[in-house]
């Protein structure tokens, strides 16, 4: 998967009673797009470097060149 700045990183909980945590990718330090990614978390607006694990998925941001859904 090609991750781009603006895409959303979604961390899925391993426990039923915990929700998901979402953050927006604000920087991709490596030219080849490999991790880690600098992510700004939606719940507290903090940023951190993230090495995505198996409990992470990405939700692409709709980019200006893509048609709107619906």
Residue 35 covered by a domain: yes
Residue 37 covered by a domain: yes
The residue to which tokens 């391993």 are assigned = 14
Residue 12 covered by a domain: yes
Q: How many domains does the chain have?
A: 1
Residue 19 covered by a domain: yes
| Total-model pTM | 0.77
At 37 the three-state DSSP class reads strand
Residue 66 covered by a domain: no
Rounded to whole angstroms, the maximal C-alpha distance in the chain is: 38
Cα–Cα distance for residue pair 9/60, rounded to 1 Å: 9
Strands (DSSP E) found in 1-70:
8-11, 21-27, 37-41, 47-50, 56-59
∠ CA 38-40-41 to the nearest 5 degrees?
Answer: 130
Residue 47 covered by a domain: yes
Residue 67 covered by a domain: no
> Residue 17's domain spans which residues?
8-58
State yes or no: pLDDT of 15 exceeds 80.
no
| Interval 18-56: pLDDT, tens | 788 999 999 999 988 899 999 999 999 999 999 999 989
State yes or no: pLDDT of 63 exceeds 80.
no
């Amino acid at each position: 998967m090609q991750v781009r700045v603006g895409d959303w990183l979604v961390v899925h909980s391993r426990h039923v009673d915990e929700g998901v945590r979402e953050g927006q990718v604000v920087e991709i330090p490596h030219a080849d797009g490999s991790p880690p990614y600098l992510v700004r978390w939606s719940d507290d607006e903090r940023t951190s470097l993230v090495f995505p694990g198996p409990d992470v998925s990405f939700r692409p941001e709709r980019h200006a060149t893509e048609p709107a859904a619906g």
